[in-house]
Amino acid sequence: RSVDILLLVVLAALQTLAGKPDLYYYWSSPPCRIVMMTASVLGVDLNYIHLNIKKGEQFKPEFLSINPQHTVPTLNDNGFVLSESRAIAAYIADTNPNGEKIYPKDPKQRAIVHQMLHFDCSRLYPNFLDLYKPMMTGAAFDEVKADKLDDSLSMLEEYLKRNEWAAGDQMTIADLSLMATVTTVEAAGHDLSEFPKINQWVMKTKAAIPDYQMANQDGVDTWKGYNLRGKEREMPQENRTTTTERSTTTERSTVANIKSSPESR
């Protein structure tokens, strides 16, 4: 174990010398916020490069040469390119000396983390998009789809009755993944009052994430009621300044909802 820790420290030092990894992201995207929260918890310094997927910036040749899938988030760690938000979160944790605190090495514990990551990306998040994405373009509220979302939320509620955190007795990247989804579900106006364990877990997880406002909440806020009415909202001025300082891309125009979910995952 001491050798493993030493290797991780050396790797982190080499990454520092090589330069910060680039994270291509869209600020309101739930998958992008998974990576941002992971970086926040572990104190990882990323070079944030904003791609406005509403304007099709993900289709520019220079980005397609990096990621042919044209999806965000995309990580470029000095030539090592990785897409898919949960894979990026796992990679960031695996290459960080403190990563084990949110991504355990034990095979059984890690398997449970993976189980909950898959639960989020294959069930909970798709159920949310299936209900709310059509509403962004004027569709009526669909009770059948709402019931499916509530069914998935009930499953998460049951998991949280059995464990302190989503995947056991410690916060993991599974919690960060689910947090991005659940806070977006809540912001979009879905009633979570019947899920007390989820509400307790949300408050606890917020408190455990440094710089939570920037890493998740600012993006979450774009999903509040006005998104379902098709309105746009400008990025908060304080975030505009912060992100400009952190990013090599300074363009910050108005942001609406994520209308093309395959671009963000």
Alpha-helical regions (H) of 65-142 = 85-94, 107-119, 125-135
| Close Cβ partners of 238 (under 8 Å, ≥ 6 residues apart) | none
**Active-site residue identified among 28, 29, 40, 247:** 29
265: nearest Cα among 117, 153, 139: 117
47: nearest Cα among 68, 11, 77: 77
C-alpha to C-alpha distance for 91 and 96, rounded to whole angstroms:
9
Tokens representing 7 are 């290797």
Evaluate the omega torsion of the peptide bond into residue 73 and state whether it is cis, within 30 degrees of 0.
yes
| Close Cβ partners of 110 (under 8 Å, ≥ 6 residues apart) | 103, 104
C-alpha to C-alpha distance for 29 and 31, rounded to whole angstroms:
6
Catalytic residue list contains 29 = yes
Catalytic residues: 29
